[in-house]
Amino acid sequence: LLSGKGVLCPSNMGDDISLKFRQQLLLIDDNLGTEDVAALKFLCIDLIPFKKLESVQSALDIFQVLMAEEYLNEEDTFLLAELLYRIKCHFLLKKLGYTKERVQECLPEKGRVSPYRQMLYELAENITSEMLKEIIFLLRDQLPKRQTTISALELLILLEKQGLLTESNVQMLEEICMSVSPDLLETVNGYKREKVSQDSALLRSLFCLHPFPADQYELTTPGIPHYSTLTNKLRCLTCCSFSVNSVLSGVKILSWPWKQLGTVIPNTTFFLLSFLQKLTSYKMDGPRRGFCLVINNVKFDGGLRERKGSCKDAGELERVFTWLGLDVRIYTDLTSQEIKDLMWTWQHLKDHKDRDCFICCILSHGESGAIYGKDGELVSIRMIMSYFTAKQCPALAEKPKLFFIQACQGQDIQRAVYVEPDAQVPGLSSIEQRISPSESIPEEADFLLGMATIDGYASFRHVQQGAWYIQALCSKLQLLVPRGEDILSILTEVNEDVSRRADSLGTKKQMPQPAYTLRRKCIFPVPRHPPPS
């Protein structure tokens, strides 16, 4: 029975533990290998001081520490049952009087292993030896030089010790997974989705508390209804929440007497409440995200050059916006009149009312404030956007309308190898004719215009790899949407990316320019599937 492992004597485990219970623990220990013990230690990191865990050598040691910390006793063995369930040792559950199904039923109420720890363990379980080698190579500068061999669990612990990985900051993990395996990235994104969902529910319960009666505004702290519930929930959010912007999606904040409340609630809580009250975002969690039009003009009549590489951009936009939940429609080589007709058609589409937003991407040659149709005729960007004002398209009223334009906004410049400007031949525009992006936006709210370049300058397109701006936009959307970033923050990163690029000679630069009348933050929900590329 004891398998030569030593007896769990009363002096070690406590005098009040029955012989039968000790026998149960010994039987469980006898069926656990070295990897199982390492997994148990990892899952207990949030429950037991790490210093105590470091000295653990066997499952018996873990049981002893759990009992010393009052997590395990003869009357309550659920935590141990949960741990065995998490490491998939289901056959041992019966020794504690549990079944796999019974543990699953009890987890929502009694589970102690955090979703964060579960996610890390699942990640480690799916990291192959080849993946681990790649990850270690990527993190070589962060790992101790003396560390020759390391397991996936040990690697995650090292990252946590260095503060590079926390419950509310999994950015490094995302970047690593994106480089190594999209499947691993989906595990992280699944955790983030669940985290945002839980925090949203917490916020909803927080802000659905009853408003304070007028005659109680000036009462002291004990007189405020739900005060302890309120502050406890806020502390929870402050400690463990991801991006507040993500959490706030879909949460309606009640109008409370904030000034009076500030006199009786601690400053930190009051400031957080004020912050949450001001921060709102567009509703982007409906069953249908919206339509995305991609107008891809490649070949032109007359003297305009073929836009080689543009199909690469159109394909990338289709993949990324489909991933974000939009219904993408691609239109190729439209004349100026066909562009206007298309806008009219989409303006009158009734399906907009069931969608969260509208996106239009135009890839073409251009001049200041305008883009070219296939026929060489200019179409005003302002005219294109004006089809979707609240008056012209009521179904999109108060919804974000995003326009991304890949086209030059000025005269042609000297070309470099493999890089072309999206501009007309020199001499067809002048400084006097320039129109700033802000002038292209209709004079009402909820519009965003993302221009590939500032007014008067060319934008660049690699004839094989696509346009700098579109490629950066797609890349940053894939990276930053899963982190809960809003569209303006993402476009700031796009600016940074494009500004660091140059042509093959290192002489030509580009700076995108967004202009907007958005009233709220526009945050895409985190997709359920990994990024397309």
- Which residues belong to the active site? 365, 408
- CA distance readout (Å), 100 to 62, 79, 82, 93, 96: 22, 13, 9, 7, 11
Q: Measured between alpha carbons, how far is 486 from 489 in angstroms, rounded to an integer?
A: 5
Nearest CA-CA partner of 526 in 468, 482, 460, 470:
482
Nearest CA-CA partner of 202 in 169, 250, 258, 274:
250
- CA distance readout (Å), 432 to 194, 267, 348, 376: 53, 54, 35, 21
DSSP string, 4-44: TS----HHHH-TTS-HHHHHHHHHHHHT--HHHHHHHHHHT
- Specify the DSSP class assigned to residue 359: E
- CA angle 215-216-222, nearest 5°? 160
Tokens of 284: 């982007």
* Cβ burial 275-310 (10 Å sphere, 16+ → b, else e): ebeeebbbebeeeebbbbbbbbbbebeeebbebbbb
Tokens of 489: 């923050």
Nearest CA-CA partner of 382 in 321, 443, 302:
443
Q: Confirm if 468 and 462 have CB atoms less than 8 A apart.
A: yes
Nearest CA-CA partner of 351 in 399, 295, 290:
290
Tokens of 417: 């190898």
- CA angle 211-216-222, nearest 5°? 95
Residue 439, Cβ neighbours under 10 Å: how many?
14
Q: Measured between alpha carbons, how far is 476 from 451 in angstroms, rounded to an integer?
A: 16
- Specify the DSSP class assigned to residue 252: P
Q: Measured between alpha carbons, how far is 308 from 314 in angstroms, rounded to an integer?
A: 12
Q: Confirm if 27 and 5 have CB atoms less than 8 A apart.
A: no
Position 383, amino acid: M
Q: Measured between alpha carbons, how far is 39 from 461 in angstroms, rounded to an integer?
A: 50
Phi and psi at residue 388, to the nearest 5°: -115, 20
- CA angle 489-183-468, nearest 5°? 40
Tokens of 125: 């379980």
